[in-house]
Structure 1
Amino acid sequence: MKRITILIADDEAEIADLVALHLEKEGYQMIKVSDGREAIEAIQSHSIDLAILDIMMPKLDGYEVTRQIREQHQMPIIFLSAKTSDMDKITGLVLGADDYMTKPFNPMELVARVKAHLRRSAMQLNQPMTGHTSVLEAGGLIIDPDKRTVILYGENIELTPKEFDILYLLAGHSKKVFSVENIFQHVWGEAYYEGGNTVMVHIRTLRKKLGEDTNKNKLIKTIWGVGYTFNG
């Protein structure tokens, strides 16, 4: 059986060694690099299952590394950064990261989050083989879960993995209202842990990509005080 390979990109050797120590205990194979360019090279030359990225790295920062990863890969990405502002977190999530942890951090919490994202990723990879997925068509949208593509009025819409999962969840249960907690548990595949802002950021960027920042007839409707529903 292929060992799961995790990339840790951080120019602080002590942090990279600490992360590797705890994840290697779980049986994962680790690749450590110290700058963004090395991170891209590692992803091009190895089969990486999950990436843990610092933001402030030499040569290429974590944001640019994430942008380049998302051009070709759907692997889970976790930011592990000393940058703690909401804007830093929002930027990372908008670019396609799946999670954001700040330093100093609890290594055991990081391990738990890594396991949760790998579990969710494995479920997505196996999903097309179950025979239970179906193409959804509503409100000018065509959502194909096997190809993980979204077409809106003939135009392909590029979504991050989590944006796609949120849209497919809502569109697959049209008119049902999902709370922020429900969405987090379904899409992130784990217990809710103050993930409200994470969900709302993804909803915001998803709406923008669907052209709903200027469209009054929103496909994703907010039910104030309750959650979100698909209005297609």
Structure 2
Amino acid sequence: MVQSRNNIQPEKPNTSSRILVIDDEPGIVDFIELGLGYEGYEVLTASDGKTGLQLALSEIPDLIILDLMLPGIDGFELCQKLRQTSKVPVIMLTARDELDDRVRGLDLGADDYLTKPFQFKELAARIRAVLRRGSNSPEESSEKGSKLLQVQDITLDPALREVRRDSTRIELSLREYELLELLMRHSNQVLPRDTILDRVWGYDFGGDANIIEVYVRYLRQKLGKPNPITTIRGVGYLMKLRQEEEEPD
């Protein structure tokens, strides 16, 4: 079942953004659609994974709110298929509260993750944050630049989004790449966990700060030894320009 409804006249200026909600719980869909309509978004909905994927590829929304537990194609598979051809931002919804599920969703290309039940204000804030991050303004591009980054024997090419250690190319997920780029751009500088959450995930994860540890572990495994990332206990992480005594994993 697919619907496109906006039964409430928004009191705020129209955002000109189209959001696709893929969820098989009518109550959740109505709740989200009502709130988004009030905020001025155009809303499309789908109640199963197959229809949701078709809409995502044909209607080209500005953002997708995606439930994990869907009939037909679940949210994990849908996100994986979507990322083969599309970079549309995705916020995953689920009743699950397991760290592994959150990490898996983000690693498949989701931009954010929200556990049910949730307040609409929180969802709306995350939508704004994700859309803001995805705008890729000229100022942000100019600030980042495309100059080749090098720390120790690791090089990162922002233009090609390519990472190498010595001459070996390292394949990274989107989040792994963004985390490594942040650490390399601030080499020899301790980055607090809150700063990493804000810069890589776009908002404060709150109690999920240990997700950074998971991704640091992923990076260490893929980059190999000697370990390029140093943990500053109780503070955050840093990459030193010169390799010193290796920190145990």
The answer for unaligned runs of 5 or more in structure 2 is 1-13, 242-249
Report deviation, 1:188: 3.0
- How many residues align? The count is 227
Pairs within 5 Å for 1:78-227: 78-123=91-136, 127-128=140-141, 132-152=145-165, 153-155=167-169, 157-160=171-174, 162-191=175-204, 193-210=206-223, 212=224, 215=225, 217-227=226-236
Counterparts of 2:160 and 2:60, CA distance in 1:
20
Counterparts of 1:207 and 1:23, CA distance in 2:
40
TM-score, structure 2 as length reference:
0.79
Check whether the contact 2:151–2:239 (CA below 8 A) recurs between aligned residues.
no
Counterparts of 1:147 and 1:169, CA distance in 2:
16
Runs of 4+ aligned residues of structure 1 deviating over 6 Å after TM superposition are none
Aligned to 2:46: 33
TM-score, structure 1 as length reference:
0.84
Q: Secondary structure at the match of 1:48?
A: coil
Letter in 1 for 2:216: I
* The structure with more radius of gyration: 2
Counterparts of 1:2 and 1:148, CA distance in 2:
31
In structure 2, do the counterparts of structure 1 residues 98 and 206 end up closer, same or farther at CA, with 3 Å as the change threshold? farther
Check whether the contact 2:191–2:237 (CA below 8 A) recurs between aligned residues.
yes
Report deviation, 1:109: 0.8
In structure 2, do the counterparts of structure 1 residues 126 and 148 end up closer, same or farther at CA, with 3 Å as the change threshold? farther
Aligned to 2:244: none
In structure 2, do the counterparts of structure 1 residues 149 and 75 end up closer, same or farther at CA, with 3 Å as the change threshold? farther
Check whether the contact 1:177–1:227 (CA below 8 A) recurs between aligned residues.
yes
In structure 2, do the counterparts of structure 1 residues 209 and 108 end up closer, same or farther at CA, with 3 Å as the change threshold? same
Counterparts of 2:137 and 2:212, CA distance in 1:
19
Report deviation, 1:111: 0.6
Counterparts of 2:105 and 2:144, CA distance in 1:
34
Aligned to 1:66: 79
Counterparts of 1:164 and 1:125, CA distance in 2:
21
- The alignment status of 1:230 with 2:239, answered yes or no, reads yes
Report deviation, 1:33: 0.9
The answer for unaligned runs of 5 or more in structure 1 is none
The C-alpha deviation readout for 1:165-203, integer Å capped at 9, x for no partner, is: 211110111121112111112223334633412322333
Letter in 1 for 2:155: I
Aligned to 1:19: 32
Counterparts of 2:135 and 2:236, CA distance in 1:
28
In structure 2, do the counterparts of structure 1 residues 183 and 48 end up closer, same or farther at CA, with 3 Å as the change threshold? same
Letter in 1 for 2:171: I
Counterparts of 2:216 and 2:86, CA distance in 1:
21
Counterparts of 1:131 and 1:89, CA distance in 2:
28
